[in-house]
Structure 1
Amino acid sequence: MRSKLLSLCVLILALLPQIAKADPADIDAAARGVVRVVIIGTDGREVYPVSHGTGFAVAPDMIVTNAHVVREALLDDTLTIAVVPSDGDKAEYVRPISVDPRSDLALLRITGEMRLPALTIAGSADPDSGEVSAVGYPMNVDRAQGLDIGDIFRPQPPVKSRGFISGARPSRQFDSILHTAPIARGNSGGPLLDGCGRVIGVNSFGADSEAGDAEFYFAVSTRELLPFLRKNNVDATVNASPCRSLAELDASERERMLREQSEARQAMAARADEQRQARDRARLEAEFAVLGERENSMALAFLLFLLAGGAGAVAWHARQNEEERRMMIGGTLAGLALLSSLLLWFLRPGVEEIDRRVAAATQGGDGSSGSTDPDAADGGTMLCSFVESRSRVTGARTDDVEFAWQDSGCVNERTQYGVVAGEWSRVLVPDDEEAVSINRYDPATRTFSTDRYLLSRSAMSAAREARDKYSPPQCGADNAAASLGDMQTGVTSLLPPRPNERLVYQCEAKPADSQAIKPLASPAG
């Protein structure tokens, strides 16, 4: 009895709505573009940190932080500002581009060669609820870790904390988001992220906590951030797509496949029923026609046989009376009638003619059973449109793509796709982006998809090393698809279990008379 009650409780809990949680992989991906913002002083012999906060990249060389983080450096020309990334490079100096004390926002430009992965900004309205993550460099953590002055200038991973949105409200003359993700001194200027790692605010300050009151924190809303960036001509990546987990997407895909399979079975059963009814109708019509033709042939043969007998009797009588002309006419007529009668009898339709006519009627009479689409087998030139309902996008562009597919796995007559276990794919490891992409194409369903893995600098270095170990075979080379499929496993084995983004496109054969589209992103890469 107890086990039954326990099972029932587990079932009920499983059916209850689940609270959406942030995906750690997305938060980690966003953290790649988070930096420590350090105000630097000097005594003439060495430099030292005066204070620090947090910032994040909105473009490869542009950093957003709070105005109050850099205020001291703006008022004292002996102080400079530097940013320290979370991974890889050393600190770089920055210079202020724009500071807005009213909204507590500042924009900084990196003066050196450092380039960072830009974070995506949520384009939808400020949420009223849901889980959020704060990312930054709180000073109390630095003290707890015993970090000294030199450690401040060494790349360190930022601290991530979780909480929930408590509401949106105006504060200090700017729109802000109230949340419970713990922040401290040093977090100022860091991003507040949604479950997909998109920026929904810039952490600014916390509420005083007295007598055990709950602690709340404020972030500058994107309603302030986006106009600030537009004013300064920053083309930030903005994404307003719903934030869904890959688990939800996979579950939706399974439901879609089951639904399509069920619909296909129903359609197949309906077609089978239609074909059965068509065969039954064709058989009745064939039986009626064949039996009618048989009876007509037999009746005519009998009449001709009688005519032959009558003509033969006339010829016999004429011979007895030595009427040679009548005998010739009667004999000839009797022979022709008898021969025609025999031909009609032996050439009358047989019962097997029924089956032949039924087969001809149900197959369309031309024996054709293949597809009428000339591009169905090899795909031809495809025009692929983005399907938002089947995708998870946090920052990637979703332009339609066009490519010419061949059944050998060759794209645009120059880029070979690899094949493993019947799946066509091409792995892309760019030198100018901290992301690995896997493009896939399914000729059977005409579905093109891209899985994007947003990796750390060290993980990207390992992926580039693995990619440099092979050269993809050219289109048309012997065993090109299978060879490339094996080569690419060196990169795919280094990737996380799940991608950060998945873009799904539905492709259709492009009309021959349509104008060419030049997409910004090509599946061939």
Structure 2
Amino acid sequence: MFRLFALLAAFAALILPATVRPEAADIAAAARGVVRVVIMGTDGERVFPVSHGTGFAVRPNRIVTNAHVIREVLQDDTLRIAIVPPDGDGADYGKVIAVSSAKDLAVIETTGALRLPALTVAGGVASDGDEVAAVGYPMNVDRAQGLDLSDLFRPQPPVKSRGFVSGTRPSRDFDSVLHTAPIARGNSGGPLLDGCGRVVGVNSFGTTSDDGSDAEFSFAVSNRELLPFLKSAGIEPAVNAMPCRSMAQLDAAERERLEAEQAAARAKLAQRAETDRERRERARLEAQLSVMDDRENAMALAGILLLLAAGSGFASWNLRAADDGGKKMRIAGALAAVAAVASLAVWFTRPGLDAIDRRVADAMAERPESGDQGVAPDSAGAADLSCSIQPDRSRIVGQPPKDLDFGWNPDGCVNGRTQYGFADGKWTRLFVPNDEDTISVNSFDPETRVFRTDRFPLSQSAMARAREARAQYKAPTCGAQNAASELGEMQSGVASMLPQQATERLVYSCQPKRD
């Protein structure tokens, strides 16, 4: 499996134009799952820290760190492990459930109620020149802040630093990543992150300069070691081997896509206009010929009838003295009158020149261009849809998502049970879960049938405020009167608390299900 991820990552590297600079929002999101690992001792009267390092969650209650961080616990059963999160109410205890001293890796399981947002592990290996970020709790920063040992049990945000990958190489019997992100004692066990906040290594140790100062170059245990180690421990982390693109790159690609679609639409309209012009010219020429033929035929017929009327009138005049009592004269006179009236009728009902325009309009209406309508029938109506993820339009930093089913109703009722709100011309639904510190904003465009999810990871304190705001309203029943507009207004309070930019965007293209 790891080889497959590596191949996918290598292929992705070939198609990407450049490496991605780590985004602050992604690193901050990953840092929510980075903890201080404190080794605790006791003298019977008080509890005191013996040493500390860093760890990060790969499952809500599973934490990866270095084996050397917890070595003392393995050697002395009177010592305990404290897990101090970066945010929240306090620490938790942990126990070692897997360790590999040869690979300098260990897994700790929390024993209390603490649950952490798990970091995603990159499916591929880091490449030379990639910019990376190290996250952890260096001791020299603690000393500079004037923190004493008791402060180690108080939640504090980890320190973030940036650098570049200088290569991958075997070291101390395990595969490692050499990088220049500054770390120090206390960073051991912390994650080394790529541009999307995914783990590419576990920081382990650094080089030292001649004067004994802290590391100038650093080594992290490579994912080539981490993923097999987690598998052997029975742990399945979230793994993502997809290309890493920044939101700026994604937005630029989306703008290019929209511009290309607009240019194609303009070209299509121009082509349609040219086609219509040619059709109209052909129709006008045909109409002119047809109208002129009809006019000439009508005029000829009117002339013939007029001659018939004149001849019949002359005959009637000559028969006035016939000894039949005027019968033949009356017949000839009647025929003359009918022929004269018919001649006048044909003359005045002959097609005028304005008939040309009417016949052109009829011809254009009767012969529309096939396949040129451009809009799917009932595109904004109720639909039972199958939605497929669009990787080229998405930014996927966590576990790659699966395709989904989406039942849409024009009143905003989704799948017959979830009401969407309508505000500012958009259909949206905000989800504020109790078991995850991430807010999701789902949106759907009935015209284009595009479903989208934007994810906003928050700190525990920010998430608590968002949950309080969400508790202030109850979503209307699906399909209730004015439900869409009411929910659109209700959600505005939570929406105002979201960061300016999401860290993950999932875009799906939806099509009607086939029977």
**TM-score, with length taken from structure 1:** 0.87
402-411 or 280-289, which moves further after superposition? 402-411
- The Cα of 1:476 is off from its aligned counterpart by 4.0
297-306 or 338-347, which moves further after superposition? 338-347
Instruction: Tell me which residue corresponds to 2:352.
Output: 350
Instruction: Tell me which residue corresponds to 2:413.
Output: 410
RMSD: 2.6
Give the SS at the match of 1:445: coil
373-382 or 86-95, which moves further after superposition? 373-382
* CA–CA distance in structure 1, aligned partners of residues 93 and 354 of structure 2: 93
Give the SS at the match of 1:427: strand
Instruction: Tell me which residue corresponds to 1:233.
Output: 234
Instruction: Tell me which residue corresponds to 1:6.
Output: none
Give the SS at the match of 1:282: helix
Q: How does 1:239-278 map to 2 (within 5 A)?
A: 239-278=240-279
104-113 or 478-487, which moves further after superposition? 478-487
Deviation by residue 1:243-266 (Cα, 9 ceiling, x = unmatched): 222222222222322232222222
**Aligned partner of 2:359: which letter?**
R
Instruction: Tell me which residue corresponds to 2:197.
Output: 197
* CA–CA distance in structure 1, aligned partners of residues 513 and 323 of structure 2: 87
Describe the shift of the 1:344–1:414 C-alpha distance in structure 2 as closer, same or farther (beyond 3 A). Answer: farther
- The Cα of 1:314 is off from its aligned counterpart by 3.9
Describe the shift of the 1:372–1:80 C-alpha distance in structure 2 as closer, same or farther (beyond 3 A). Answer: closer
Describe the shift of the 1:211–1:37 C-alpha distance in structure 2 as closer, same or farther (beyond 3 A). Answer: closer
State yes or no: 1:504 paired with 2:514: no
Q: Which structure 2 residue ranges, 5 or more long, are not aligned? A: 1-16
Instruction: Tell me which residue corresponds to 1:123.
Output: 123
Deviation by residue 1:84-135 (Cα, 9 ceiling, x = unmatched): 1111142222222221222211122212221110001111232222211111
* CA–CA distance in structure 2, aligned partners of residues 255 and 206 of structure 1: 44
State the 4+ residue runs in structure 1 displaced beyond 6 angstroms: 211-214, 368-372
Describe the shift of the 1:468–1:178 C-alpha distance in structure 2 as closer, same or farther (beyond 3 A). Answer: same
Deviation by residue 1:201-232 (Cα, 9 ceiling, x = unmatched): 00111123226998211001111111112222
Contact 1:58 1:64 in 2 (8 A): yes
Contact 1:168 1:177 in 2 (8 A): yes
* CA–CA distance in structure 1, aligned partners of residues 212 and 155 of structure 2: 36
Q: In the alignment, which of 426, 429, 432 is matched to residue 426 of structure 1? A: 429
Q: In the alignment, which of 441, 444, 457 is matched to residue 441 of structure 1? A: 444
State yes or no: 1:388 paired with 2:391: yes
Contact 2:239 2:399 in 1 (8 A): no
- The Cα of 1:425 is off from its aligned counterpart by 1.6
Instruction: Tell me which residue corresponds to 2:476.
Output: 473
Instruction: Tell me which residue corresponds to 1:54.
Output: 54
* CA–CA distance in structure 1, aligned partners of residues 166 and 375 of structure 2: 59
* CA–CA distance in structure 2, aligned partners of residues 404 and 133 of structure 1: 41
* CA–CA distance in structure 2, aligned partners of residues 372 and 364 of structure 1: 20
* CA–CA distance in structure 2, aligned partners of residues 129 and 110 of structure 1: 36
State yes or no: 1:302 paired with 2:303: yes
Deviation by residue 1:440-467 (Cα, 9 ceiling, x = unmatched): 2223333222111110000000111111
Instruction: Tell me which residue corresponds to 1:217.
Output: 218
Describe the shift of the 1:433–1:218 C-alpha distance in structure 2 as closer, same or farther (beyond 3 A). Answer: same
Q: How does 1:316-331 map to 2 (within 5 A)?
A: 316-322=317-323, 327=329, 330-331=332-333
- The Cα of 1:285 is off from its aligned counterpart by 1.1
**TM-score, with length taken from structure 2:** 0.89
Deviation by residue 1:388-435 (Cα, 9 ceiling, x = unmatched): 222212115422233233333332343332233212221111111110
Instruction: Tell me which residue corresponds to 2:136.
Output: 136
**Aligned partner of 2:342: which letter?**
S
Describe the shift of the 1:233–1:327 C-alpha distance in structure 2 as closer, same or farther (beyond 3 A). Answer: farther
Contact 2:97 2:109 in 1 (8 A): yes
Instruction: Tell me which residue corresponds to 2:453.
Output: 450
Q: Which structure 1 residue ranges, 5 or more long, are not aligned? A: 1-16, 514-525
Instruction: Tell me which residue corresponds to 1:170.
Output: 170
Describe the shift of the 1:331–1:271 C-alpha distance in structure 2 as closer, same or farther (beyond 3 A). Answer: same
* CA–CA distance in structure 1, aligned partners of residues 330 and 513 of structure 2: 76
* CA–CA distance in structure 1, aligned partners of residues 380 and 297 of structure 2: 49
* CA–CA distance in structure 1, aligned partners of residues 123 and 374 of structure 2: 45
Q: In the alignment, which of 340, 343, 353 is matched to residue 341 of structure 1? A: 343
- The Cα of 1:180 is off from its aligned counterpart by 0.8
Contact 2:190 2:202 in 1 (8 A): yes
Contact 1:379 1:509 in 2 (8 A): no
Q: What is the number of residues matched between the two proteins?
A: 495
- The Cα of 1:152 is off from its aligned counterpart by 1.8
Instruction: Tell me which residue corresponds to 2:34.
Output: 34
- The Cα of 1:198 is off from its aligned counterpart by 0.7
Describe the shift of the 1:49–1:497 C-alpha distance in structure 2 as closer, same or farther (beyond 3 A). Answer: same
Give the SS at the match of 2:465: helix
* CA–CA distance in structure 2, aligned partners of residues 152 and 18 of structure 1: 40
Contact 1:379 1:443 in 2 (8 A): no
**Aligned partner of 1:489: which letter?**
S
Q: How does 1:148-159 map to 2 (within 5 A)?
A: 148-159=148-159
Q: How does 1:12-23 map to 2 (within 5 A)?
A: 20-23=20-23
Deviation by residue 1:495-522 (Cα, 9 ceiling, x = unmatched): 11111111122233334x2xxxxxxxxx
Percent identity between the two aligned chains: 59
- The Cα of 1:298 is off from its aligned counterpart by 1.5
**Aligned partner of 2:200: which letter?**
I
Instruction: Tell me which residue corresponds to 1:523.
Output: none
86-95 or 212-221, which moves further after superposition? 212-221
* CA–CA distance in structure 1, aligned partners of residues 367 and 316 of structure 2: 49
* CA–CA distance in structure 1, aligned partners of residues 374 and 132 of structure 2: 52
Give the SS at the match of 2:469: helix
355-364 or 192-201, which moves further after superposition? 355-364
* CA–CA distance in structure 1, aligned partners of residues 479 and 73 of structure 2: 62
**Aligned partner of 2:23: which letter?**
D
**Aligned partner of 2:235: which letter?**
V
Instruction: Tell me which residue corresponds to 2:105.
Output: 105
**Aligned partner of 1:285: which letter?**
E
108-117 or 451-460, which moves further after superposition? 108-117
Deviation by residue 1:314-368 (Cα, 9 ceiling, x = unmatched): 44444533356755664554454344333322322222221111112212379x9
Describe the shift of the 1:370–1:224 C-alpha distance in structure 2 as closer, same or farther (beyond 3 A). Answer: closer
- The Cα of 1:190 is off from its aligned counterpart by 0.7
Instruction: Tell me which residue corresponds to 1:283.
Output: 284
- The Cα of 1:32 is off from its aligned counterpart by 0.8
